[in-house]
């Protein structure tokens, strides 16, 4: 059975654009790439990372379970040079599962929908671009509504390569 997974990709170390393209290509091997946002340059969030990120949201149709998908995307991060030295620190690639169908998952290894998505403009801007009317299964608001109500004032701008 196929499910749609929504993933946020981003990084702020190395050749950000090349790494983002490589991540999208690797993810497309896990299923059918059905949607992708534009690329955004965003301020670092959380007070640890130093440089701006490039971010992109994608949706894939996959037969992977949520935990299989998590394993695959963590391997993609590693293959693209990710080092897990510092929580919310600088990184070559970070891939988060934002939504997995309409599932709600709360385990130590994986939380879906992503627990901070409503608080982060760098997540909501590309998410509202590709899926504005998708309703969060816990909050009960659309991605567009959450973006309008988001208190995060960090800059998120379309990146021109």
User: Residues 72-115: pLDDT tens digits?
Assistant: 999 999 999 877 665 556 788 999 999 999 999 999 999 999 99
Catalytic entry in 91, 103, 106, 152 = 91
Contact 78, 92 (CB under 8 A): no
Residue 29 annotated in active site: no
Catalytic entry in 79, 82, 84, 133 = 82
pLDDT at 50: 76
Full DSSP string of 125-142? HHHHHH-TTPBPTTT--B
pLDDT at 51: 85
Catalytic entry in 90, 96, 152, 153 = 96
Residue 84 annotated in active site: no
Among 2.102.10.10, 3.40.50.2000, 3.30.70.330, 3.30.70.560, name the CATH number for the domain at 3-116: 3.30.70.560
Catalytic entry in 16, 84, 94, 153 = 94
Average pLDDT, the chain: 92
Is residue 49 predicted with pLDDT exceeding 70? Answer: no
- Spell out the domain ranges in the chain: 3-116
User: pTM for this structure?
Assistant: 0.94
pLDDT at 84: 63
Contact 133, 144 (CB under 8 A): yes
Residue 96 annotated in active site: yes
Residue 157 annotated in active site: no
Q: How far apart are CA 103 and CA 3, in angstroms?
A: 10
Is residue 133 predicted with pLDDT exceeding 70? Answer: yes
Tens digits of per-residue pLDDT, 2-40? 999 999 999 999 999 999 999 999 999 999 999 999 999
């Amino acid at each position: 059975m196929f499910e749609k997974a929504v993933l946020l990709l981003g990084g702020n170390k190395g050749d950000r654009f090349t790494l983002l393209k490589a991540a999208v290509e690797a993810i497309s091997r896990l299923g059918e790439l059905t949607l992708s946002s534009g690329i955004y340059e965003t301020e670092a969030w959380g007070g640890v990372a130093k440089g701006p990120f490039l971010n992109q949201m994608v949706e894939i149709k996959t037969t992977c379970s949520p935990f299989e998908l998590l394993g695959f995307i963590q391997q993609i991060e590693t293959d693209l040079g990710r080092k897990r030295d510092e929580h919310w620190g600088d990184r070559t690639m970070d891939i988060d599962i934002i939504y997995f169908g309409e599932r709600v998952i709360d385990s130590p290894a994986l939380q879906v929908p992503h627990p901070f998505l409503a608080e982060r403009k760098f997540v909501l801007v590309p998410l509202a671009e590709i899926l504005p009317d998708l309703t969060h299964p816990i909050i009960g608001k659309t991605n567009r509504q959450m973006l309008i109500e988001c208190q995060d004032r960090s800059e998120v701008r379309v990146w021109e390569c």
